[in-house]
Each structure stands twice: as structure tokens, then as C-alpha cells.
Structure 1
């Protein structure tokens, strides 16, 4: 699928543009990537083809780094383990849909790990990285070694973005060691925030860590403790309450347990997982604009449902979108 698409394309500039990128694991040529040696890419936030610029596919043209020191892995993950990624930027566009996946053949193909249908980025959690953390499971039978991790995002403005990072996959159950102290700090912060952001409370109350504050929430209020002025702390309390209410809604609507979902995902061989969707890149496949968030035609076995604020719709036409 990926090798059949032209190596680059040009889209007309639009009035509003996506402004988020993969923060952890650090994407190729990002300012927070410890292996970046020259000027970092200032356009990682921008959708493909934005602003009259040609954007190479896939991974913004950085696959040529994977055999070089600049493309060294930035994280080590065990097959079958629970991990997280986070995103950041200057505009979350009030959500969208995302996929994460892997390439084990140096970017020739990208197969889905998890699909997030709606509310990705988290629409009420700001521009990250705090609050923009997402959990996922590494496929249990993914080949070990150095691979490419990919994140894609399609928003309601029919804009597509894709960032990629080099990671090392170890055997299931192997200890995970970050590549550098800088990455270790990022990973620890992301994991802490992700645990809070993805918590599934068993009662109507729960505790969250958000923007450096510790917030205790009920179904009607949050109290946050942190060294922030009253106005800033009140804003954090509001964000925490919105996040908590969203988690309660997801908990109440869940019909299967996380362990059941993991077993179902593990039952699908990595080699049988679908390709990550490419849409809104002048390839004939388009998402519905403005009124809907994207429903993936081939989401794979691990799907995270959004908050339901927008209805979901498949991209069209089917023959151009892989279904």
C-alpha cells in the first residue's frame, strides 16, 4: 500500500492546519530526539502538503535515517507489553482519529497496532504533552529488533499527519531499558501522565496527575493541589473534571474487560493485521469533513472508542480506501 503511493505530493494550502506531532517516542529529526545532529524539523506539527510544501511519504521522508546514527532507536519495548505514546503541538483541532502501528520492513508497509476512533487528540486536554497520552499494546508476535513506530492523525478538516520513530522490540517479558537518560525522563513522565489520563476508576472518584497538579475528582467536582496561582489551578481543575467525566462514561459503556480485549488482539497474528489507513493525501481516499470523526474501515483487533461527541463515518470511496 505504502510503496504504491507516489513518494511525494502537493496539496493546496488551507485556512486551518493541524498542529500536533508525536512527542514520545521522539520522532525522526525532532528537537527532543537525542540523535538529531543538525537543525530539527520545524514542520512536524503540520499536515502533509500544508502551506505549499511538498511532504515526502511515508514518515515525512526520514526513512533514509534508519541506517544512520541520526535514526537510532529512542525507546526499547517488549513484545506484548503495555506501552504509551504522547503527542504535543499548538492546536489539537478538537479531536480526530488516530492510528499507531509498526513497520518491520524499513517502511515498505505499516501494520496497525491500535486504532483510536474519535477524541484523538483528547479534545479537552489541551495541546500536550500533559493530558495527550495514549496507552496501547505491542503485538505479542511482532518480530524483534529495530523497527519503525508510526503515528497517524486525521482530523475533521480532512488533514493528515504522520510521524515516525525508531524503536527496539525485545522478546516478550524482556526488561525494557531506555536508550538514553533524556529518553528515560521523557518515558517516565509520559507513563505517569498516561496512567492518570487513561485511568478507569472503579467508583465515581479517582485521582489524576495533570499539568503538575494532583487532582481528586468526584462525579461533580475536582480538587487539585499544586504550586499554581488560583486562576491557573482552577483551569486545571476544570480540565481534570472533564477528563474524569469522560473516563466514567467510557467505564460505564464498556462491555468487555481490558484482559478480554488483549486476548482478542493477541489472537490476530501481526502478519495478518491490516495496513494503516492513508487518507486526505490526494490519493483518492477522503474522510468526511467537519461533521464526523473518522471510523477506520480496517481498524485491526485493538480499537479504542472515543467519547461519542461526534458521530463516526467511514472514508470514501470504498475502492480507494481499502474496503
Structure 2
């Protein structure tokens, strides 16, 4: 009986949480008073506990010393986060993003479709590092960094951290390296942007035509020209989005046709304000991921998408109307 209870206790704690940057009220957060929250690994709805959304109810700390920033990042810079816990559930899908309005909205920076956490790299933090690019035009100041994870058991977790974003030209803006990340077995290389869903058919050509947001866009490797019914400002944004989509399509067709740096520059050109909201699913809100057989494909992944290792197929959450698409 004792061994069974220990097994159950381990199972309900077999999850991951954001380790760097240190999340609100974590034991490794230098601003935490007391012992910290021992349940950061637990998914929402687990074990009879009510966990407030978003950020596990810790948004009230952002105006207090306990919610002071734990990292300083440059707008447009490549940064990393890492995860830790006692069970990575053999992967899943993750998103990271930011809130610049004290937690009212959360917009996507990068989506990791499959193999997040890294299924074969243990429970972290070593081996569980992920890179992302801070949006180039995100408002500067103290903001909230958010990480979400949806595994193949239809479980959702979310952790948040307070960070400072400084202007890209600010000489004071040297982001502190995580000592844990520095000792990681994973090399700190920029994430590889991969293809998001496209409204255009795959064409093995360096030029293509796309229909995007009511605009007709003719795209080549160096840019797109779109004809839209809307104003010029809207057309300019659609052209940038279409260019990113086209580069992603070219990379799918021929991995050597487009470099990772080209994709990064195109993704950075998509404004922060135009990025989609992070997906919240499997929290009794009517939106559910596919259980067991697939890892989550985000319906609105944003401009920077990192594809997993292909061990599991990707599937959209359902129903579409409840999941934002």
C-alpha cells in the first residue's frame, strides 16, 4: 500500500515548470519570500487544486518586491529559457510570449510544435533549453514573460516571470546569462523557424502567389507585393507576413533555399501588436487538444515556429470556434 501511494504521489507531480527565467514565487526566484510554491509542476486542474488563470494567480505580485524582474533582455535579441521538473511526459507542445499590459493579454513570441520539453533529454534543467527571439518592436520596460505547455494527456501548465525589456540600442542592455543554461548539454543556437499553416498550395518555385487577409500577394525571395482593398498601412503589414510565409514555404521545399537568418529577419519584421494571442486549452474552456495520439499544432502559432522531431503527428485542438480559429 505504501509503495502504491508513493507511486501515485510521484505520478501527480510528474510535470515540468519554467526554471529560467525564475517564475513568480519559485524557490529559485531571488525575490521570493519563504519557501516558494511547491506545486509549480502541477498542471491546471490537477489533484483537486484550483489554480487561477493566468500565471497561476501570481499577477498581484508584479507591483510588489516579490515580483521584481529576474532578467533583462534586449528587444530583438535571441534569448533562452529552460525547464525543470520530475517528468517530461515524452514531449508535448509549448508557447512562449509576453504580456505588456500586466497580464490582460499574452501575445506569442515563439511556438514549439512537438518535442517540448525535449522528450529524450530528461527532466532538466540541463538538456531542456529552448531559444527564442524577443520581438524587435515590443514595448520596453517591465513585462511578463509566459510559458505554456500542453502535453498528450490533455494537460495544460503555465508559468510566468517578470523581465525587463530594453531598447535594442541601449548599451546597458546586456542580457544576463543563465548559469544553468551555460552548463547545458544543448548548444545555445538560434531556434529554427518552421512552416506555419499556409493558405497557399505548396509550389516548388522561388516565386508564388498567396491570398492572405483578403489580399493577393505575389512573392519572391526578396519580398512580396500585395494588392489589398484596405489602407496602405495594412497592406504593408500583410506584405511582411506574406514574405515570411513564402520563405517558410521555400524552406519546406528545399531546406537549403532559405537560411535560418533570413527566416529570423522576416519573423522580426512582423510587429508585436499583430502577433496572435497565446493558446489556452484543456482548462475547461471548451478547447481541447488531441489526447495520446498526437502533439498539438497551434492554430495561430505566430511568425516564429519551431517544429519538433516528428515522432508524433501534429493535430489542431478542437472545436475550431472554441480554439480561436
CA deviations over 1:181-232 (Å, ceiling 9, x no partner): xxx5x614314537616489xxxxxxxxxxxxxxxxxxxxxxxxxxxxxxxx
User: Are 2:24 and 1:33 equivalent residues in the alignment?
Assistant: no
Q: In 1, are the aligned partners of 2:16 and 2:83 still within 8 Å (CA)?
A: yes
Higher Cα Rg, which structure: 2
| Aligned ranges 1:52-201 → 2 under 5 Å | 52-174=48-170, 175-177=172-174, 187-191=178-182, 193=184, 196=187, 198=189
Counterparts of 2:163 and 2:61 in 1: how far apart (Å)? 13
Q: Which runs of 4+ in 1 moved over 4 A?
A: 15-18, 197-200, 252-255
CA deviations over 1:51-85 (Å, ceiling 9, x no partner): 00000000000000000000000000000000000
- Counterpart of 2:266 in structure 1 is 264
Deviation of 1:49 after TM superposition, in Å, equals 1.2
Distance 1:194 1:298, change over 3 A: farther
CA deviations over 1:117-169 (Å, ceiling 9, x no partner): 00000000000000000000000000000000000000000000000000000
SS at match of 1:196: coil
CA deviations over 1:81-105 (Å, ceiling 9, x no partner): 0000000000000000000000000
Counterparts of 1:167 and 1:35 in 2: how far apart (Å)? 13
Counterparts of 2:80 and 2:149 in 1: how far apart (Å)? 16
Deviation of 1:254 after TM superposition, in Å, equals 6.8
CA deviations over 1:254-279 (Å, ceiling 9, x no partner): 76322112112112110000000000
Counterparts of 2:173 and 2:146 in 1: how far apart (Å)? 20
Q: In 1, are the aligned partners of 2:102 and 2:144 still within 8 Å (CA)?
A: yes
- In structure 2, runs of 5+ residues without a counterpart are 1-10, 192-251
Counterparts of 1:199 and 1:301 in 2: how far apart (Å)? 15
SS at match of 2:265: helix
Q: In 2, are the aligned partners of 1:81 and 1:138 still within 8 Å (CA)?
A: yes
Counterparts of 1:173 and 1:88 in 2: how far apart (Å)? 33
Counterparts of 2:164 and 2:36 in 1: how far apart (Å)? 22
Counterparts of 2:14 and 2:259 in 1: how far apart (Å)? 34
- Counterpart of 1:226 in structure 2 is none
Aligned alpha-carbon RMSD (Å) = 2.2
Q: In 2, are the aligned partners of 1:131 and 1:197 still within 8 Å (CA)?
A: no
Distance 1:60 1:120, change over 3 A: same
| 2:316 pairs with one of 314, 317, 320 | 314
Counterparts of 2:65 and 2:88 in 1: how far apart (Å)? 32
Deviation of 1:18 after TM superposition, in Å, equals 5.0
| Aligned ranges 1:289-304 → 2 under 5 Å | 289-304=291-306
**TM-score where L is the length of structure 2:** 0.74
Distance 1:277 1:74, change over 3 A: same
Number of equivalent positions: 254
**TM-score where L is the length of structure 1:** 0.74
Deviation of 1:176 after TM superposition, in Å, equals 3.1
